[in-house]
Amino acid sequence: MMTVMAAGRAVRRGLFGGVSAGRVGAVLGRNVGALRSGPAYWLVLLSGFFEPLLYLLSIGVGVGALVGAVPVGGRPVDYAVFVAPAMLAVSAMSGALAETTFNVFFKFKYARTYDAVLATPVRPVEIALGELTWALVRCLFYTLMFLVVMVVLGLTSAGGALAAFPATALVGLAFGAVGMAISTFLRGWQDFDLLTTGQFTLFLFSGTFSPVQDYPVVFEVIVTLTPLYHAVELVRGLAVGPAGWMLLVHAGYLVVMAVAGLWVASRRIGKLLLV
């Protein structure tokens, strides 16, 4: 949590001097307002939560019945216990990315939501922060529900869930910021294929379904450089164990991601919107 706050301060002071919380809130408020527009968006929002849950039930529980135990930190655990925190990290990632890539891009290009917003005193950076905050809200909504499911199914303890929850916020922030930066580079819908493929590849190979130590060495080294791996390891370390100083490395990676993503996004978004 410390790191999140530190990142927040750095962002406020160093990158966006003069940002108004009120105007960021106004952008956020627009998204909350859209929720009242009807059941469709609600359902879509809610349904996003089910995807990782279904994977947990299918691969974690279904295939897990065929697997038995998997080693975590030298200690064998149930396969479902191993997969669950990974799916938690994935739901944080996809919740944040869905909002900051797909929805932001749509508002940019098609709905032209921002054109109208920019005709007011709201600044591009404030739009970015407003959208990011909203993405974080969505992400935490998913991870909170997911953690409740995990505790109910006995896949983590209440203490583990409490420890993992703030970590999912950091995961959401990191991916949300990077997603925001990426969406400023997207040219059209065809780029979403690339983005989805990339996201899906991370999903399959980040120590999610089997320990990275099983991968060939070269492969393992590559995976340890990618973001979802650190998210999964951080969340798994807190929810299942073992806790160790490596968790700080994983958290540090995500903090750097968040700051770098915000920095790029804030530089590009102004250019894109004020043409």
Which residues of this chain interact with other proteins, rule CB under 8 A? Answer: 40-41, 43-44, 47-48, 50-51, 54-55, 57-59, 62-63, 65-68, 70, 79, 190, 193-194, 196-197, 200-201, 204-205, 208-210, 214-215
| CB 59, min distance to other proteins, A | 6
Listed in sequence order, the residues at least 6 apart from 237 whose beta carbon sits closer than 8 Å to its beta carbon are 243, 244, 246, 247, 250
User: Measured between alpha carbons, how far is 238 from 272 in angstroms, rounded to an integer?
Assistant: 39
Nearer to other proteins, 1 or 106 (CB): 106
Nearer to other proteins, 58 or 242 (CB): 58
Cβ distance 116 to 93 under 8 Å?
no
Nearer to other proteins, 212 or 262 (CB): 212
Strand bridging mode 75-78 / 69-72 = antiparallel
Collapse the DSSP code of 177 into the 3-class scheme (helix H, G, I; strand E, B; otherwise coil) and give the result.
Answer: helix
| CB 221, min distance to other proteins, A | 17
| CB 67, min distance to other proteins, A | 4
Phi, psi of 24 (to 5 degrees): -60, -45
Half-sphere exposure of residue 259: CA atoms within 13 angstroms, side-chain side: 19
| CB 3, min distance to other proteins, A | 30
Nearer to other proteins, 52 or 227 (CB): 52
